[in-house]
Chain A
């Protein structure tokens, strides 16, 4: 056996002390991307430091075993070969290789290993789940904006479940308007919660102006009770919130021109038509009106969370277009 077969071809130059550039052979090479001599072991305890110590102990044991095996083989070689010195040098460098490779991978295992090799196999390449680089951190924690959009308007619908005589309602109910020539519904208002309802002859009703989901439902129930007291068999079917509008202030001026240039597939800004930039966010599907002053209006939501999510999405973008003058 000569020197060239024991080591991979690329590492031959590094076997001799003159060829080694560093004290040890590079840990990760094309043939051994995850290092050698280290097989992931199931974690026994949760203390990561002790895990590293365990790994070190295991590696040292492996090294010793391998070293012993190599020494035995080498002794046989020495007896058989005349290049005994070269063999010893090979073994020494191999030991160094494995020693170095056994230790340094720990630096890269920033997370505890939870994979184990399949029984009966000695993996040349450890499980692909073994991370060889530090786990990529989560997307850098950009702080939440700290601003909570306030709900300004909720539009909801409900079905009272019976046909209604709008003239009767307009004549007998308080605070009602009915002009069939102009609009085919009774417009009724109540003070608490301050809302307006459009009541149609089919029995369907639209309730607008509430500031919260619960207020919208409460107001719709109040209108239904008014209609019920007038003698109609009103029910409360299929209450659904159709639209929610929120607004907030980012407290700094915004360069709308810049925003429309970089986000042109989402934005439309025609200052001669309307002073606000109309941003149509895809996910969630919300329309935002963004003004130079930094005030933002969000609409199109079916649930409150969409408003909040849309604002958290737009806030870092708006920060990037803050006016500095």
Chain B
């Protein structure tokens, strides 16, 4: 399971999925250090069945853990 996380990081010949995400979607910045992922997204739409939330900037901090990752928005 852990290997999937590193599929696009080990070699320079990677598929550059992150970069394609940058171009395609709204992913502005990403970072991975000390096993912690940080993403900054722009112009994001959170859609739930009943609600729709639009946001200019979302910062996601995700830690690797067995139970769950923690999320913070600003």
Contacts and interface: CB of A to CB of B under 8 A. Distances in A.
A208 B18 contact: no
Interface in A167-210: 167, 170-171, 174-179, 182-183, 187, 189, 191, 194, 196-198, 206-209
A150 to B, nearest CB: 18
Contacts of B6: 179, 182-183
Given A177-B9, A183-B10, 11 more contacts: A170-B32, A176-B33, A177-B33, A179-B32, A183-B6, A189-B16, A189-B18, A194-B23, A196-B16, A196-B19, A209-B16
Nearest to B2: A182
Interface string B1-28: 0000010011011101011001100000
The 5 closest A-B pairs by CB, nearest first: A208-B12, A177-B32, A170-B33, A174-B29, A189-B19
Contacts of A189: 16, 18-19, 22
Contacts of A194: 16, 19, 23
A175 B10 contact: no
Interface size range of chain A in the complex:
20 to 34
B14 A196 contact: yes
A228 to B, nearest CB: 20
Interface residues of B, number: 17
B32 A178 contact: yes
A178 B13 CA distance: 16
A179 B13 CA distance: 17
A57 B18 CA distance: 83
Nearest to A155: B12
Nearest to A170: B33
A171 B33 contact: yes
A191 B32 contact: no
A159 B13 CA distance: 19
